[in-house]
Amino acid sequence: LYAIQFHLLVTSILFLTREGFRRACMRTDL
């Protein structure tokens, strides 16, 4: 159970950071 929660946390963090990075790139592009 703990491993599943940890995996979810890591994936969500990676997704958020990737989304933020993409938004930053788009912002600089504009």
pLDDT tens for 1-30 read 789 999 999 999 999 999 999 999 888 876
Name the helix (H) or strand (E) containing 6. Answer: helix 2-29
pLDDT for residue 28: 81
The predicted pLDDT at position 29 comes to 72
Q: Which domain holds residue 5?
A: 1-29
Structural domains counted in the chain: 1
Cα separation, 4 vs 18, in Å, equals: 21
Q: How far apart are CA 9 and CA 25, in angstroms?
A: 24
